[in-house]
């Protein structure tokens, strides 16, 4: 029989990595654009991701686990790709926004997968852990939708 707390900690630690990836990714994207409004937007999202990671780390500790503190290897590779692509495209806003949206697509999948895993662990809607992940999932969805609108606007201008 598995320990539900141990499994929940594993799910949350995966999300911490995604949140840390998002935080670093948005900071990198802010550096890769010249538009001050877009820079500010990315820095706000980076801060939100940092807050999400902290909330998840707190929950992991509450479950008796050791919280993740680093980013993922795939996130590190994606940031390097975004940085290279932005250099090759002259820090084109649309190109940066395309890559940011792609990163948010991966985060959405991770959160959906986490919600499914938590449900299988009988940490269904109503539990504190599930409520936290679900709230953060809606935040990721909102970020994704905002980035998509900005990307579409940048595409229309070019």
pLDDT beneath 50, residues of the chain: 1-2
pLDDT tens digits, 97-143: 988 998 899 999 999 999 999 988 876 667 899 999 999 999 999 99
147 SS3 class: helix
Cα separation, 109 vs 137, whole angstroms: 9
Cα–Cα distance measured from residue 139 to residue 145, given in angstroms and rounded to the nearest whole number: 10
pLDDT value at position 1?
A: 39
Q: Please tell me the predicted confidence (pLDDT) of residue 32.
A: 85
How far is residue 152 from each of residues 82, 102, 120, 155, measured CA to CA in Å? 18, 14, 37, 5
Per-residue model confidence (pLDDT) at position 104: 92
pLDDT at res. 68:
85
Could you tell me the domains of the chain? 4-157 (1.20.1260.10)
Q: Check residue 83 and give its pLDDT.
A: 57
Look up residue 152 and give its two tokens: 């579409």
* DSSP SS3 for 125: strand
Best CA proximity match to 139, nearest among 116, 113, 103, 107:
107
């Amino acid at each position: 029989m598995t320990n539900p707390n141990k499994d929940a900690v594993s799910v949350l630690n995966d999300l911490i990595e995604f949140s840390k990836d998002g935080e670093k990714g948005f900071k990198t994207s802010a550096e890769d654009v010249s538009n001050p409004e877009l820079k500010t937007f990315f820095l706000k999202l980076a801060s939100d991701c940092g807050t999400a990671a902290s909330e998840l780390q707190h929950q992991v500790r509450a479950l008796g686990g050791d919280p993740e503190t680093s980013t993922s290897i795939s996130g590190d590779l994606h940031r390097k790709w975004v940085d290279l692509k932005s250099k090759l495209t002259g820090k084109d806003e649309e190109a940066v926004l395309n890559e940011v949206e792609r990163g948010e697509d991966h985060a959405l999948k991770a959160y959906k997968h986490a919600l499914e895993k938590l449900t299988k662990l009988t940490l269904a809607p109503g539990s504190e852990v599930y409520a936290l992940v679900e709230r953060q999932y809606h935040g990721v969805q909102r970020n994704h939708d905002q980035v998509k609108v900005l990307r579409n606007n940048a595409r229309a201008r070019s």
